[in-house]
Amino acid sequence: MKQHPDAAAATVPAPASGVAAEAAQTSIAARAMASLRPQGSPYLEGLNPEQRRAVETTEGPVLVLAGAGTGKTRVLTTRIAHLVSTGKARPYDILSVTFTNKAAREMKHRIGALIGPAGEGMPWLGTFHSIGTKILRRHAEMVGLKSDFTILGMDDQLRLMKQVIVDQNIDEKRWPARALSSAIDGWKNRGLLPEQVPPGEAGAFAFGKGGALYTAYQARLLTLNAADFGDLLLLCLKLWRENPDVLANYQQRFRYILVDEYQDTNVAQYLWLRLLAQGHRNVACVGDDDQSIYGWRGAEVDNILRFEHDFPGAVVVRLERNYRSTGHILAAASGLIAKNEGRLGKTLRTEDVAGEKVTVSGAWDSEEEARQLGESIESLQAKQHPLSEIAVLVRISAQMREIEDRFVQLGLPYRVIGGPRFYERAEIRDALAYLRVTMNPADDLAFERIFNTPKRGLGDATLQILHGYSRSQRVPLLQAARSLIETDELKPRARSGVRALVESFSRWARMVGTQPHSEVAQTILEESGYTEMWQKDKSADAAGRLENLKEFVRSMEEFPDMAAFLEHVSLVMEASEQEGADRVSLMTLHAAKGLEFDTVFLPGWEDGLFPNQRALDESGRAGLEEERRLAHVGLTRARKRAKLSFAVNRRIHGLWSSTVPSRFIDELPASAVDVVDAPAHFSAGASRFDRNPTPFGSSYATPGWQRAQANTAGNQGFGQSSGQGFGRSSSSGRNNGGPRQIEGELVAKSTGAPSAFSDGMRVFHTKFGPGNVAAVDGNKLTVDFDKAGRKMVLDSFIQPG
DNA sequence: CAAGCGCATATTTTT
DNA sequence: TATGCGCTTG
């Protein structure tokens, strides 16, 4: 995109351009003008007083705490409309950042609806990354790049990291590229350039070479004229720090700044915003601390909690009126989130009816849970409830399989939202790599990717030769290949393969510009043998991949040229969801943020799964609070019906383990919740016992037992500080000792004898070696192994040591 | 260079 | 359990 904002503005029919010009000069007059308008502004109608305040407080820092379903997007878009139509700002004076492309698109759309085509001309509405890219391309030389730098996806990033690791003679096994890459990402998220990383931290990686690796990695990026996602922000910071005049220009340019989902910003984004906001200080951040669920990838809830401190004099507006959910659902969600300590505090209220209570039901195991889920959906379906208004939200994707299996069996149409994205599929990345090399012969990472795909008899040996030449002559791989086919460096066989490839790329490069770009792509895929490769492949998914390739080529037609297309896909890594069909939606809780449904099912509310043990282990109380926010997000997705469930047995890494209901269940206000008896039919449930008959089986599978379980859960007081680990909770209790051991018998086929182990005992495991028992739960032990760390193991694999 | 085996590993995921 | 990876073998 080379569109210059000022040029763009000239083409925008500015409704109040005369006023705008004055506004820039005489703010008093402008304000006076503005005060006249609201009465006649249709867009302000229907806003509640808080929303209106959020819209009309245009000057100075504003924090809008927008609870779930309180009309956040509406405020954001109306605010822009307000700024533009009062003449306080022209569309190109407003910087408006979102997190996802989807959010940006929706905002563009809605602004367009409010103020007409002027909104579509907003050049500075986009994601942090797309705006960062736009800024960087203009000043690329100042950070050592060229303006046509390529943006690396995660796979390129990893490949590059691997090379750097090898270059630095680090043991790749001990320090996998993944780990280092994520460390570097972490530093970038915190706005740290290589030299700014605290030495202690950098030293903790790769035998003290962490810092050196980061430096080397950045150097390689510059050589390749490439930037990774983190750089898109980090290099802006660098650019602005080193060139105050450039910064001043942007500070001046952005009269008003709006930020969506502020609770998800990381440190780099915060610094980025703060630098820009120091100009006019008109920065409005909209967010909800109770929906911050991305701490694990660098989001800092602190940013939102500290807003008033960071921007003195900030006006804080709370949007607490919820327009989405009925009373009980809201009460449940509010009651739950109130248990969090680190929050600014909001109380959602609704004027809607109380509606149905949130239901909680238990199941014997995850299979039965899925069965019940299917039945509930079918009965809703029988009552004409549209499937598209039903969502199943799970904590981890692994839960999806059983549910999908069930849906398939029932013939229930469903769709999985999230999951592997279109542009991340192997065939699409391959196709992209071909295009990238065609467009940019110096794109070594792309070249390497398709070097021998499809197979053309080229292996690692050949690649090493190319690399050697490329490095010594300081030319890109493709250039190296072009030179080497003139010599005898390569074996004849490899040489002919390389020659064919090199010549193809020259040919394809010549086609660009003379033929429509989608046709060029089509030709490339055919001539390279790539399409043929999949046609010959007779595995199950080959047909789907060919279909994807077709869709890929087709989607190119929506872009003016190949370069524009490539820019788009490097920033927009998302699938094109096809809407319309009446299907149940299945997704993770994370993927559900921002969506809403009439009916929401929330299976798997069990301690260890949700709240997730790993979050607890890694982040302690903060982790628990984030999990609780996730629960809150889940509940607030529901308009009319929220149905929680848990299973008492679940397979974890292939082993059956018994589980206890999530502590979150007990944190729900009782008045908003109905405990549901399990359905009375046990035909299917009984089959478990048919296979594994035990004297106790049937009685424990009765509804009464399940109710008892639910009650037991209530009485045990989960959720206090003690809860650590699947096993630890409260195994001493006689209430769960009985059933637990029987489950153990059924499930783990152990002897069922009471555990002979106790806390602190020295033990030996056939696989993990020596360790100390940290906790005992029936036949399951949590052991801190000397070498392998903390693991949960079955006692039958353990000997007293 | 490809197929096959053993081994470790096992959340959440946008840009 | 199941997947994916890296190494060994044909």
Q: What is the pLDDT of residue A538?
A: 72
Q: How far apart are CA A328 and CA A335, in angstroms?
A: 10
Q: What is the pLDDT of residue A132?
A: 96
Q: Is-contact A729 A607, C-beta < 8 A?
A: yes
Banded model confidence at residue A766, pLDDT cuts 50, 70, 90:
very low
Q: Say if residue A500 carries a ligand binding annotation.
A: no
Q: What is the pLDDT of residue A3?
A: 37
A172 is catalytic: no
Q: Is-contact A801 A784, C-beta < 8 A?
A: no
Q: What is the pLDDT of residue A792?
A: 54
In the structure encoding, which two tokens stand for residue A527, read together? Answer: 């001539």
Q: What is the pLDDT of residue A736?
A: 28
- pLDDT tens digits, A205-259: 777 888 888 999 999 999 999 999 999 999 999 999 999 999 999 999 999 999 9
- As a whole number, mean pLDDT of residues A136-153 equals 94
- Nearest to A621, CA basis, from A270, A394, A301, A288: A301
Looking across all nucleic acid strands, the nucleotide with the smallest C1' to CA distance from residue A132 is B15
A25 is catalytic: no
pLDDT score of A99 more than 90: yes
Task: Determine whether the distance from the CB of A124 to the nearest atom of strand B is below 7 Å.
Answer: no
The amino acid at A562: M
3-state class (DSSP) for residue A426: helix
Q: What is the pLDDT of residue A722?
A: 27
Mean pLDDT is lowest, of A181-185, A269-273, A632-636, A712-716, for A712-716
- Torsion angle defined by CA atoms of residues A184, A190, A193 and A199, in that order, rounded to the nearest 10 degrees: -80
pTM recorded for the entire structure: 0.77
Please indicate whether residue A746 or residue A612 has the higher confidence score (pLDDT): A612
pLDDT score of A699 more than 80: no
Q: Say if residue A153 carries a ligand binding annotation.
A: no
Q: Is-contact A260 A80, C-beta < 8 A?
A: no
Q: How far apart are CA A74 and CA A79, in angstroms?
A: 8
In the structure encoding, which two tokens stand for residue A416, read together? Answer: 């999985």
Q: Say if residue A58 carries a ligand binding annotation.
A: no
**Which candidate in A51, A218, A251, A291 is catalytic?**
A291
- pLDDT tens digits, A389-413: 999 999 999 999 999 889 988 889 9
A627 is catalytic: no
- pLDDT tens digits, A658-698: 999 999 999 999 999 999 876 544 433 333 333 233 333 33
Average pLDDT over chain A reads 81
Mean pLDDT is lowest, of A377-386, A528-537, A592-601, A738-747, for A738-747
Q: Is-contact A580 A588, C-beta < 8 A?
A: no
The amino acid at A497: G
Looking across all nucleic acid strands, the nucleotide with the smallest C1' to CA distance from residue A398 is B11
Query: Judging by DSSP bridges, how do beta strands A638-652 and A597-602 pair with one another?
Result: parallel
- pLDDT tens digits, A418-477: 877 777 788 888 899 999 999 999 999 899 888 888 888 888 888 888 888 888 898 999
Banded model confidence at residue A721, pLDDT cuts 50, 70, 90:
very low
Please indicate whether residue A561 or residue A778 has the higher confidence score (pLDDT): A561
Q: What is the pLDDT of residue A780?
A: 52
SS (H, E, C) A707-763: HHHHHHHHHHCCCCCCCCHHHHCCCCCHHHHHHHHHHHHHHHCCCCCCCCCCCCCEE
Chain B: nucleotides under 7 Å from a protein CB? 1-2, 10-15
Q: How far apart are CA A547 and CA A290, in angstroms?
A: 41
**Which candidate in A52, A482, A637, A643 is catalytic?**
A637
Q: Is-contact A606 A364, C-beta < 8 A?
A: no
Task: Determine whether the distance from the CB of A651 to the nearest atom of strand B is below 7 Å.
Answer: no
Q: What is the pLDDT of residue A176?
A: 81
* Residues paired with A453 in a beta bridge: none
Looking across all nucleic acid strands, the nucleotide with the smallest C1' to CA distance from residue A178 is C5
Q: Say if residue A67 carries a ligand binding annotation.
A: yes
Gap from A540 CA to C2 C1', in Å?
A: 18
Which residues in A93-156 belong to E strands, given as ranges? 94-98, 125-127, 150-151
A261 is catalytic: yes
Q: Which of residues 646-665 of A touch strand C (CB under 7 A)?
A: 651, 653-654
DSSP state of A792: E
Question: Which residue in the block uniquely carries the two structure tokens 């929220």?
Answer: A642
Q: Say if residue A223 carries a ligand binding annotation.
A: no
